[in-house]
């Protein structure tokens, strides 16, 4: 599904190259649950951002679903976001002015899904994540864990092929974190959804099927 | 999608109440000011354009030339002969109509008498103006010379109902006329207005001047209507050769579109050089400027909030929003805001309209049922929304997701900050210019007001001399003087302030030119004219009843003496037209025409019989109220058929500055609003800037920064912007206002204190606005600001 070859990322600063990623080469297949680990500043988030097409690599080849997307125009990228990629953020990044239901519905709106189908899918998500009672609340009325549930529901609702999660439990208490990780595992096992997460925690990483260890921009294992 | 955008927009407004309040207040005031000015502009713009064929109707104009053939004066008076000659000789002219100037005359139904505007016209007038006939018809309305057409209001005033066709009214206490038709009231914004209209055929019976078809009396108006497709230029070029046959080319006439006359009515050398249109242009600029100031507020607030919105943009982009949908969302937000503001604006207008009409002495109303008005309002909302929302929409939607979510916007904020500075500077430029203009206009008005009139108009009242007052003037005078209400009474052919009965037919000893080419103004006056009006005599004496020879004597103004170059004016004999007069006195010039013009030389002739205006000096020892009541009752006793129309001469003079007064009021009002809106925006910006830098200020305070130091940090950048805008605005305003003042022969100058007040005023308001918020921020507890995050 994802093929990275010799991905490099650096910032040139007064003629010095400041490397973030070096020679990253890996392949992630459909249905895998990959955890990217490493100390602070190892380049984990940058790698995830490159996979999520939020950043462009300085050098290297990146194939997403068999397509070379190293250089990608905006329209094509939005197309991929709408159909294949769901993002989960550490800070949840829900839209403050929208209710829970509207937040979940938003990707479907952009994907131009019909109204009836939108309603049923949102209802399905609310049901599945046990947040039916919260559907008319605004994000600031929810706890962190609940907000992240909504964030995941929003990522999943468009039925993406892959979920990219940047420290999804970083702001949560351990009990809530556990719940989120179990949810990811279920999604991965039952729906065969590809998941890539960045995490600090060994325990969280253990939920995945594979661990990519990054150190100073290099994959060490 | 749209529905959701709308919902989000409303939630956003609700959540950020301060900025919504600032935005909505600013926009509402801006919109209402803009709409109000636009109403006024459209009122003026549509002057004489109501009729279907108004573009084919022309007013005949007359040029007066001097001996060298240069045009010295252009006006709309024409002779009685012109109309029919044109109609016969020029095939392009479909119809021509002569009509009289509107004049105030008596109309009565039995004892109910009123003085209203009367007009005489030929029946062809009906095909030029689309009068709406309530009863009667254009074909029959003027068939009988002794008939009259009433407007609806006139009919109701006289009879209490509009259904009065066939009834009889009495005109000028002389003629009984039958009401032949009732028409809807004429639009306020049309020239040649009247309350009742009478046939030209009646005019020829009543008025010897109108009866005679000649080329010498310019007291009549001529309107012509061209055939469809006829070229006005072609007709105008035919006029010269044609008229040569009738009056040796002494008179030059040309057609001018009636619908343009109101706005472009100032002529120089026979060509239109503008007129009221200049004021209209000014108002359009004012309207757009105020709206822009309000829009700039919105843009500034939006960019100031951009950091917060950036996150939203980033998130939306990762869940599949494209730029267009984001632009649409931001535009929806601003249009919603504009829509809310326009509702408030309309309410504001409703509230202020009567006052506005009153201030400007016009009668406008908002035609809520007209299609155009809604088109304009909706158009304005869309436009305002687009202008106000464009910058945030295009700027914010360009954020890329990563930097948006990481709040990295400040690093790329260079452009936004500098644009914001430009906007604020522009805003205050306009404000300062308005400020200066307002003071200069006010100063000019005061200057004219305080210009010595040259006559003692305090406690001077005047009364039209009509009806029995013409014959019983002496009785009236005696009764008044005996009653003690007045100390002196006189009468003259025209009121003290008038537009001049100009003539050139005067010769004097020692004239170097073959004929005089300077316009003189002539007033015919009764005895005690100088005594009553308080005009200052320089040499000689007033007319005296004791000297019979005074019927051939003349009073001349100081400027007349100058023009004539007389060393010893008193006793000199001059010829006015064909009569010989002896100068018995020289008086100082006084202002009889517009106070901002230098008036031409003037002569006063004795004519104790001429009817016109009675002028009275109230007795200073009695209360004016009592005196006026006495005058009223004496007048009613002598002249029962006419209502008493007593006017204070001072108010007549004040009315002459109507145009300037409107300009003064509007610039005051809208200048004030502009300053208010600008300061509102400034307040918003400071609030946001303080909010963004809360943490920084908290840290600085912990490190020992003083309250004043923090206030200075927060304010200095704003004050700098305002200083820059003052530097730009002052010279610009100086230049523009000097140009404006140049239009007046008598004008004040822009003193340094005007600029000083404007600068001090703007800075003070700005510093206060910024200072309040800065003080609040600076004195807040640092712990509160450091606790969050």
Query: CATH code at A146?
Result: 3.40.50.300
Q: What is the 3-state secondary structure (H, E, C) of chain A?
A: CEEEEEEEEEEEECCEEEEEEEEEEEEECCCCEEEEECCCCCCHHHHHHHHCCCCCCCEEEEEECCEECCCCCHHHHHHHHHHCEEEECCCCCCCCCCCHHHHHHHHHHHCCCCHHHHHHHHHHHHHHCCCHHHCCCCHHHCCHHHHHHHHHHHHHHCCCCEEEEECCCCCCCHHHHHHHHHHHHHHHHHCCCEEEEECCCHHHHCCCCEEEEEECCEECC
Angle at A103 between CA A98 and CA A106, to 5 degrees: 110
Secondary structure letter of residue B78 according to DSSP: B
End residue of a domain, out of B261, B295, B329: B261
Q: Does A33 touch chain B (CB under 8 A)?
A: no
Q: Is residue A9 part of a domain?
A: no
Q: Does A9 touch chain B (CB under 8 A)?
A: no
Q: How far is B4 from chain A (nearest CA, A)?
A: 8
Treating both helix axes as pointing N-terminal to C-terminal, what angle do B323-360 and B371-396 enclose, rounded to 10 degrees?
Answer: 140
Q: Is residue B429 part of a domain?
A: yes
How do beta strands B196-199 and B112-121 pair? parallel
Burial class (CB in 10 A: 0-12, 13-18, 19+), A200: middle
Task: Please judge whether B322 and A74 are an interchain contact, meaning their C-beta atoms are less than 8 angstroms apart.
Answer: yes
Residues B393 and B539 in one domain: no
State which residue of chain A sits closest to B12, comparing Cα positions: A97
Residues B608 and B685 in one domain: no
State which residue of chain B sits closest to A80, comparing Cα positions: B320
Residues of B with CB under 8 A from a CB of A: 1, 4, 7-8, 11-12, 15, 311-312, 314-323, 325, 400-402, 405
CA B341 to chain centre: 28
State which residue of chain B sits closest to A155, comparing Cα positions: B319
Q: Does A76 touch chain B (CB under 8 A)?
A: no
Q: Is residue A89 part of a domain?
A: yes
**Residues of chain A found within 8 Å of residue B320, distances taken between Cβ atoms:** 78, 81-82, 107, 110-111, 158
Nearest beta carbon to residue A106 from set B7, B11, B319 = B319
Asked if B527 and B608 count as a contact pair (C-beta separation under 8 A), the reply is yes
What is the pLDDT averaged over residues A56-84? 84
Residues B616 and B748 in one domain: no
Residues B637 and B524 in one domain: yes
Task: Please judge whether B319 and A154 are an interchain contact, meaning their C-beta atoms are less than 8 angstroms apart.
Answer: yes
Residues B178 and B75 in one domain: yes
Q: Is residue B48 part of a domain?
A: no
Euclidean distance between CA atoms B12 and B592, whole angstroms? 62
Nearest beta carbon to residue A81 from set B12, B320, B405 = B320
Phi-psi region of B526 (alpha: psi -120 to 50; beta: other; left: phi over 0): beta
Q: Is residue B151 part of a domain?
A: yes
Q: Is residue A66 part of a domain?
A: no
**Residues of chain B found within 8 Å of residue A97, distances taken between Cβ atoms:** 8, 11-12, 15, 312
- What's the maximum distance between 2 C-alpha atoms anywhere in chain A? 57
Nearest beta carbon to residue A110 from set B319, B402, B405 = B319
**Residues of chain A found within 8 Å of residue B399, distances taken between Cβ atoms:** none
Q: What is the pLDDT of residue B788?
A: 46
What is the pLDDT averaged over residues A45-61? 88
Task: Please judge whether A98 and B8 are an interchain contact, meaning their C-beta atoms are less than 8 angstroms apart.
Answer: yes
Residues B480 and B608 in one domain: yes
How many A/B residue pairs have CB atoms within 8 Å? Answer: 62
Residues B131 and B242 in one domain: yes
Nearest to B761 by CA among B362, B428, B374, B320: B428
**Residues of chain A found within 8 Å of residue B312, distances taken between Cβ atoms:** 95-97
Question: In degrees rounded to 5, what are phi and psi of residue A102?
Answer: -65, -35
Task: Please judge whether A93 and B311 are an interchain contact, meaning their C-beta atoms are less than 8 angstroms apart.
Answer: yes
Task: Please judge whether B320 and A158 are an interchain contact, meaning their C-beta atoms are less than 8 angstroms apart.
Answer: yes
Q: What is the pLDDT of residue A122?
A: 94
Q: Is residue A122 part of a domain?
A: yes
Q: Does A93 touch chain B (CB under 8 A)?
A: yes
End residue of a domain, out of B261, B294, B310: B261
In chain B, how many domains are there?
3
Q: How far is A179 from chain B (nearest CA, A)?
A: 23
Q: Is residue A181 part of a domain?
A: yes
Q: How far is B7 from chain A (nearest CA, A)?
A: 9
State which residue of chain A sits closest to B400, comparing Cα positions: A54
State which residue of chain A sits closest to B326, comparing Cα positions: A110
Nearest beta carbon to residue A107 from set B1, B7, B320 = B320
Helix ranges, B141-181 (H): 152-159
State which residue of chain A sits closest to B315, comparing Cα positions: A93
Task: Please judge whether A107 and B319 are an interchain contact, meaning their C-beta atoms are less than 8 angstroms apart.
Answer: yes
**Could you read off the pLDDT of A98-122 as tens digits, one per residue?**
899 999 998 898 888 899 999 999 9
Structural domain including A189 reads 32-45+73-219
How do beta strands B271-272 and B267-268 pair? antiparallel
Strand, coil or helix: B113: strand
Residues B74 and B219 in one domain: yes
Nearest to B427 by CA among B766, B161, B12: B766
End residue of a domain, out of B655, B675, B693: B655
Nearest to B766 by CA among B438, B299, B424, B420: B424
**Residues of chain A found within 8 Å of residue B406, distances taken between Cβ atoms:** none
Q: Is residue A27 part of a domain?
A: no
State which residue of chain A sits closest to B317, comparing Cα positions: A78
**Residues of chain B found within 8 Å of residue A49, distances taken between Cβ atoms:** 402
Q: Is residue A202 part of a domain?
A: yes
Residues B481 and B630 in one domain: yes
Q: How far is B21 from chain A (nearest CA, A)?
A: 18
**Residues of chain B found within 8 Å of residue A96, distances taken between Cβ atoms:** 15, 312
Q: Is residue B184 part of a domain?
A: yes
Q: What is the pLDDT of residue B406?
A: 65
Euclidean distance between CA atoms B698 and B785, whole angstroms? 6
Q: Does A55 touch chain B (CB under 8 A)?
A: yes
Task: Please judge whether A49 and B402 are an interchain contact, meaning their C-beta atoms are less than 8 angstroms apart.
Answer: yes
Nearest to B66 by CA among B522, B521, B516: B516
**C-alpha distances in Å from residue B172, one per residue of B104, B113, B679:** 10, 9, 59
Test mutation, A87, A97, A148, chain B, max B CBs within 10 A: A97
Structural domain including B204 reads 54-261
Secondary structure letter of residue B536 according to DSSP: P
The interface residues of chain A toward chain B in range 133-172, judged by CB-CB distance below 8 A, are: 154-155, 158
Nearest beta carbon to residue A97 from set B11, B320, B401 = B11
Nearest to A23 by CA among A43, A53, A1: A43
Q: Is residue A85 part of a domain?
A: yes
Q: What is the pLDDT of residue B789?
A: 40
Q: Does A122 touch chain B (CB under 8 A)?
A: no
Q: Is the pLDDT of residue A162 over 90?
A: yes
Sheet holding A67-68, edge to edge: A16-28, A2-13, A59-64, A67-68
- Rg of chain A over CA atoms, in angstroms? 18
**Residues of chain A found within 8 Å of residue B11, distances taken between Cβ atoms:** 97
Task: Please judge whether A109 and B405 are an interchain contact, meaning their C-beta atoms are less than 8 angstroms apart.
Answer: no
Nearest beta carbon to residue B1 from set A78, A82, A109 = A109
Euclidean distance between CA atoms B472 and B609, whole angstroms? 11
How do beta strands B133-135 and B112-121 pair? unpaired
Q: What is the pLDDT of residue B787?
A: 52
Strand, coil or helix: B654: helix
Burial class (CB in 10 A: 0-12, 13-18, 19+), B209: middle
Nearest beta carbon to residue B322 from set A78, A89, A94 = A78
Residues B103 and B250 in one domain: yes
Q: Is residue B47 part of a domain?
A: no
Handedness of CA A122, A127, A128, A130 (dihedral sign): positive
Residues of chain B with pLDDT under 50: 408-415, 788-789
Nearest beta carbon to residue A97 from set B12, B319, B321 = B12
Nearest beta carbon to residue A82 from set B11, B320, B323 = B320
Residues B633 and B501 in one domain: yes
**Residues of chain A found within 8 Å of residue B325, distances taken between Cβ atoms:** 110
In chain A, how many domains are there?
1
User: In the block, which residue shows the tokens 């109204």?
Assistant: A115
Q: Does A56 touch chain B (CB under 8 A)?
A: no
Residues B395 and B465 in one domain: no
Q: How far is B334 from chain A (nearest CA, A)?
A: 16
- The CA-based dihedral angle spanning residues A145, A147, A151, A152, taken in that order and rounded to the nearest 10 degrees: 30
Q: How far is B403 from chain A (nearest CA, A)?
A: 10
Nearest beta carbon to residue A81 from set B8, B318, B323 = B318
């Amino acid at each position: 599904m994802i093929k990275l070859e010799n991905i490099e990322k650096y910032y040139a600063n007064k003629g010095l190259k400041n490397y973030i990623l070096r020679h990253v080469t890996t392949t992630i297949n459909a249905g895998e649950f990959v955890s990217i680990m490493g100390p602070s500043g190892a380049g984990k988030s940058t790698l995830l951002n490159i996979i999520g097409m939020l950043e462009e690599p300085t050098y290297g080849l990146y194939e997403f679903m068999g397509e070379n997307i190293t250089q990608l125009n905006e329209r094509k990228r939005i197309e991929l976001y709408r159909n294949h990629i769901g993002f989960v953020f550490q800070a949840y990044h829900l839209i403050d002015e929208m209710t829970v239901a509207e937040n979940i519905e938003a990707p479907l709106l952009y994907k131009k899904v019909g109204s009836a189908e939108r309603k049923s899918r949102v209802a399905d998500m609310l049901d599945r994540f046990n947040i039916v009672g919260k559907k008319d609340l605004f994000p600031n009325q929810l706890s962190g864990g609940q907000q992240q549930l909504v964030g995941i529901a929003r990522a999943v609702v468009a039925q993406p092929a892959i979920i990219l999660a940047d420290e999804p439990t970083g702001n949560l208490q351990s009990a809530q974190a556990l719940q989120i990780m179990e949810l990811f595992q279920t999604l991965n096992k039952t729906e065969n959804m590809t998941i890539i997460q960045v995490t600090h925690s060994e325990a969280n990483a253990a939920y995945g099927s594979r661990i990519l260890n990054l150190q100073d921009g290099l994959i060490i294992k | 999608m749209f529905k959701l955008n709308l919902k989000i927009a409303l939630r956003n407004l609700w959540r950020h109440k301060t900025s919504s309040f600032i935005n909505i207040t600013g926009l509402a005031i801006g919109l209402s000011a803009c709409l109000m000015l636009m109403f006024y502009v459209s009122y003026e713009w549509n002057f004489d354009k109501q009729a279907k064929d108004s573009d084919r109707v022309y007013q005949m104009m007359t040029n007066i030339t001097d001996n060298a053939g240069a045009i010295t004066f252009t006006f709309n008076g024409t002779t009685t002969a012109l109309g029919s000659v044109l109609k016969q000789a020029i095939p392009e002219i479909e119809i021509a109509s002569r009509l009289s100037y509107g004049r105030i005359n008596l109309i009565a139904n039995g004892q109910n008498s009123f003085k209203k505007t009367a007009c005489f016209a030929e029946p062809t007038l009906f095909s030029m103006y689309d009068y709406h006939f309530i009863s009667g018809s254009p074909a029959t309305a003027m068939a009988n010379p002794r008939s009259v057409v009433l407007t609806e209001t006139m009919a109701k005033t006289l009879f209490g109902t509009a259904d009065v066709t066939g009834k009889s009214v009495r005109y000028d206490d002389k003629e009984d006329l039958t009401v032949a038709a009732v028409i809807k009231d004429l639009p306020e914004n049309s020239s040649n207005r009247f309350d009742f209209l009478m046939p030209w055929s009646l005019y020829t019976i009543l008025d010897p001047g109108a009866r005679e078809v000649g080329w010498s009396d310019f007291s009549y108006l001529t309107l012509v209507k061209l055939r469809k497709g006829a070229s006005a230029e072609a007709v105008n070029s035919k006029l010269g050769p044609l008229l040569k046959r009738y009056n040796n080319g002494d008179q030059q006439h040309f057609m001018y579109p009636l619908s343009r006359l109101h706005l472009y009515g100032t002529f120089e050398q026979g060509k239109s050089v503008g007129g009221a249109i200049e004021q209209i242009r000014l108002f359009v600029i004012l309207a757009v400027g105020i709206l822009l100031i309000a829009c700039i507020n919105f843009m500034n607030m939006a960019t100031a909030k951009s950091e917060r919105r950036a996150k939203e943009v980033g998130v939306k982009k990762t869940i599949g929003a494209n730029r267009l949908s984001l632009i649409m969302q931001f535009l929806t937000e601003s249009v919603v805001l504009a829509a809310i503001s326009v509702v408030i604006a309309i309410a504001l207008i409703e509230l202020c309209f009567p006052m506005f009409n009153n201030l400007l002495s016009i009668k406008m109303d908002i035609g809520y049922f007209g299609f155009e008005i809604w088109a304009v309002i909706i158009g304005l909302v869309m436009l305002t929304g687009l202008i106000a929302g464009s910058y945030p929409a295009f700027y914010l939607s360009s954020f890329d997701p990563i930097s948006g979510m990481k709040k990295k916007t400040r690093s790329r904020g260079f452009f936004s900050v500098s644009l914001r500075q430009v906007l604020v500077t522009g805003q205050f430029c306009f404000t300062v210019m308005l400020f200066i203009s307002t003071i200069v206009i006010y100063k000019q008005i005061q200057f004219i007001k305080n210009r010595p009139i040259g006559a003692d108009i305090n406690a001077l009242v005047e009364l039209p001399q009509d009806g029995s007052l013409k014959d019983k003037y002496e009785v009236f005078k005696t009764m008044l003087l005996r009653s003690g209400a007045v100390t002196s009474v006189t009468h003259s052919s025209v009121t003290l302030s008038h537009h001049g009965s100009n003539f050139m037919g005067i010769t004097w000893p020692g004239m170097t030119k073959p004929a005089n080419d300077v316009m003189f103004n002539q007033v015919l006056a009764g005895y005690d004219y100088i005594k009553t009006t308080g005009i200052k005599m320089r040499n000689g004496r007033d007319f005296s009843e004791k000297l019979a020879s005074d019927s051939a004597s003349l009073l001349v103004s100081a400027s007349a003496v100058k023009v004539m170059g007389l060393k010893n004016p008193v006793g000199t004999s001059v010829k006015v037209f064909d009569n010989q007069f002896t100068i018995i006195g020289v008086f100082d010039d006084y202002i009889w025409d517009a106070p901002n013009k230098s008036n031409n030389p003037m002569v006063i002739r004795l004519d104790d019989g001429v009817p016109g205006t009675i002028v009275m000096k109230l007795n200073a020892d009695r209360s004016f109220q009592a005196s006026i009541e006495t005058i009223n009752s004496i007048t009613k006793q002598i002249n029962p058929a006419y209502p008493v129309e007593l006017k204070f001469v001072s108010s007549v003079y004040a009315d002459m500055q109507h145009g300037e007064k409107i300009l003064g009021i509007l610039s005051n009002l809208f200048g004030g609003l502009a300053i208010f809106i600008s300061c509102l925006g400034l307040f918003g910006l400071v609030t946001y800037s303080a909010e963004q830098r809360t943490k920084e200020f908290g840290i600085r305070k912990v490190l020992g920064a003083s309250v004043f130091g923090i206030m200075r940090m927060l304010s200095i950048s704003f004050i700098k912007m305002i200083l820059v805008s003052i530097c730009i605005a002052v010279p610009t305003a100086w230049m523009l206002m000097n140009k404006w003042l140049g239009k007046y022969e008598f004008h004040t100058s822009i003193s340094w204190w005007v600029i000083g007040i404007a600068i001090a005023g703007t800075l003070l308001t700005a510093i206060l606005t910024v200072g309040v918020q800065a003080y609040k921020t600076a004195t807040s507890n640092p712990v509160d600001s450091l606790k969050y995050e």
